[in-house]
Amino acid sequence: MVKLARKKILLGIGGGIAAYKSAMLVRLLVAQGAEVRVVMTKGGQAFIQPLTLQALSGHPVHCELLDPEAEAGMGHIELSRWPDLILLAPATANLLARLAAGMADELLTTLVLAAKVPVWLAPAMNQQMWQAAVTQRNLHSLTQLNPHWQFLGPDSGSQACGEVGPGRMLEPQAMVEAMIAALTAEAWQPLAGKKILLTAGPTQEPLDPVRFLSNHSSGKMGYALAEQCQALGADVVLISGPVELACPAGVQRIRVQTAREMLAAVEQHLPQCFAFFAAAAVADFYLPEVAKHKLKKAEQQLDSLTLNLLPNPDILATVAGHQQRPSWVIGFAAETDNLLPHARAKRVRKGADLILANQVGMFDSGMKAENNAITLIADDHEHSFAMQDKTSLAKEVMTYLCQQIFRN
């Protein structure tokens, strides 16, 4: 069954090597019944020929802003009114910067600025370019100024330049699945219009250039919750420690390493936040003076090593007491013993509205495992969720929260 029948999608292709994936993206969208029109930047045309995309979409590819044949009817404005959704894939660092600056210097940026439909951006760039402060500033500006814009990815992994890290464009199949979910959703979306902020994964506290303090968190539970929040209509920001997980489609991910970096990112994204989930396993201590060179036992004749560690900031307690405190502050309690007594005390001590308690240190559940079981602890009741895979568990937890908690 075709799932995107009669849906109109405008695909904008920026100038990056990931443009080669656009041919498969068009093919998959058309196979699902969508009508696809393609607009290319000059850079995009350097990586893939318009004729290829014309053959796959069945429509002429648009490349020129000042097209003599179209300008009499203001063709670029007409095209901006045509789609149900605009997808920019790849959305390069250059394209994001020009959009953030409000530039209309070629057809694609002009169409986006003139459009009144949702705009989805699939970033694709070198990992250093993605993590650059100016790129992150542009991302923040675009989402703050355009609440109906959202990001698909990026993913993390090997890149064409030979480096490894965040910045890979999501695979075409993942983007198509996200569009199917969005454009065919007659689904229950109780979080529509609400901003949800989550932390996930471990933090790493450097000791020297090659060593750090950390824990066994995989980030899977936090990522599963982020995915479910997005499916329920929320605008999701995920502050993630170092993990090897793909970013859920439609979720904005901010990568950090240390607890202090995580807190700074959380505070930056707190304004207008409806709910905060502290799912990250934050390292309790950090070394204030990191060694500039690798600590070598032999050279320094070390029989033992004393580290003068300082406590990291308490992110959950900070958010719970913040002047921009969200309506709901939800923490996690990962315990190896006395789970419920410790979790109950933590909720009160930290000032959280809810605590999601889970047992760790077991082979088949908790950190690193695929499965988990959770007990939700509020001030007036508790509710348990049975052992299951983390994706299913996240769905059950979010359904319960939306039906029983957030509406109160």
Active site residues: 161
Angle among Cα 389, 372, 249 to the nearest 5 degrees reads 50
- Cβ-based burial of 288 (10 A; exposed 0-12, middle 13-18, buried ≥19): exposed
Query: What tokens were used for 407?
Result: 């509406």
> Do residues 212 and 238 lie in contact, with contact meaning Cβ atoms separated by under 8 Å?
no
- Cβ-based burial of 37 (10 A; exposed 0-12, middle 13-18, buried ≥19): buried
- Which amino acid, 22? S
Query: What tokens were used for 82?
Result: 């045509």
> Do residues 83 and 114 lie in contact, with contact meaning Cβ atoms separated by under 8 Å?
no
CA dist list (Å): 223 to 167, 245, 264, 280, 393: 18, 8, 20, 10, 12
Backbone conformation region of residue 6, classed left if phi is above 0, alpha if psi is from -120 to 50, else beta: left
Query: What tokens were used for 121?
Result: 């951006």
Candidates 330, 307, 294; CA nearest to 405 is 330
Collapsing DSSP to helix, strand or coil, 377 comes out as: strand
Candidates 398, 372, 374, 371; CA nearest to 227 is 398
DSSP for 291-342, written as a single string: -SS---HHHHT-S------EEPP-HHHHHHT-TT--SEEEEEEEESSSHHHH
Strand partners, 158: 164
Write out the H or E segment, with its range, that includes residue 150. Answer: strand 149-151
Candidates 165, 13, 160, 173; CA nearest to 86 is 13
> Do residues 111 and 37 lie in contact, with contact meaning Cβ atoms separated by under 8 Å?
no
- Which amino acid, 202? P
The sign of the dihedral angle between the CA atoms of 221, 225, 226, 230 is: positive
